Amino acid sequence: MRKRKRQHTAKKRKEFSWNKFLVVFILFFSLLIGGFLYVRKYYPAHYQRILNKVFLSKTNIDYENKRIERISYNYRTKTFGIDLSHYQERNDIVWDSLYLERGNIPLKFAIFRATMGNNTRDKNFHYFWEQARKQKLVRGAYHFYRPDEDPVQQATSYLQTITLEKGDFLPILDIEKLPKKKKVKQYLQDIQVWLDIVEKKYGRKPIIYTYISFYNDYLHDKFKNYPLWIANYNNVLTPTHIHNWKMWQFTENGITPGSKVKIDLNIYNGSEEQMQELLIQK
């Protein structure tokens, strides 16, 4: 009887250990999936970048290079450019060597992050801005919108940091994140406040930059009349079937003879002359 009891107790302990392991595994897996979905909802830009990096590491960087080459070839009659932010340092760019090596496509414009949120200014913005002027590139300045901060202060910070001139891109608003402390309805109203303030200053509708999924899920219905700069790193030949897209950020893994690091590459969907539609005219 005692032997049976010991065997029974050992069996129970084994079952308990297995059940405990199973519970811990399920909790861990649930947290992992929950975190993944959280990032996807509130930080779609980071979600896209994570997927992109995982995708590249599991396959081959050659695949991404071929995708870039294919898009560059298909849009070779359009206008190409770059955008930079705090991820790039001053010595990362050789300003007189900016072109796509395959196809020898010149890069005609450069867009920089100027401000973030209520009062944060990009550390390299004015340096990049001046270098682009020296190279006679069409320049653009964007504001990264922080959804839980004040739209009036954010617009004011942007307008105080940069004065756009004739030949520069229209003001640009980068929208990538959902708020944590506001309802989506209030968030969209706040975005409209920023856009209205900046439009009043320059007399033209600002350009909206966002990711394809974020635009489709939250912005399309309310902001469809604004010029659209869309980010889409998928293996597609066009960033969206929406008719009014103006620019496409098609990779964050661009390499040119003028860059020592990977940079964002963009296409304006037209000629350099047609791009005047997105520039300050007076």
Which of the residues are catalytic? Answer: 176
**Residues 122, 112: contact at Cβ < 8 Å?**
yes
Dihedral in degrees, nearest 10, Cα atoms 86, 195, 49, 254: -60
174, β-bridge pairs: 144, 209
**DSSP notation for 175-243:** -----SSS-HHHHHHHHHHHHHHHHHHHSSPPEEEEEHHHIIIIIHHHHTTS-EEEE--SS-SSS-S-T
Residue 248 tokens, joined:
């496409």
Residue closest to 201 by CA, chosen among 155, 256, 134, 139: 155
Report how far residue 256's alpha carbon sits from residue 227's, in angstroms, rounded to the nearest whole number. Answer: 27
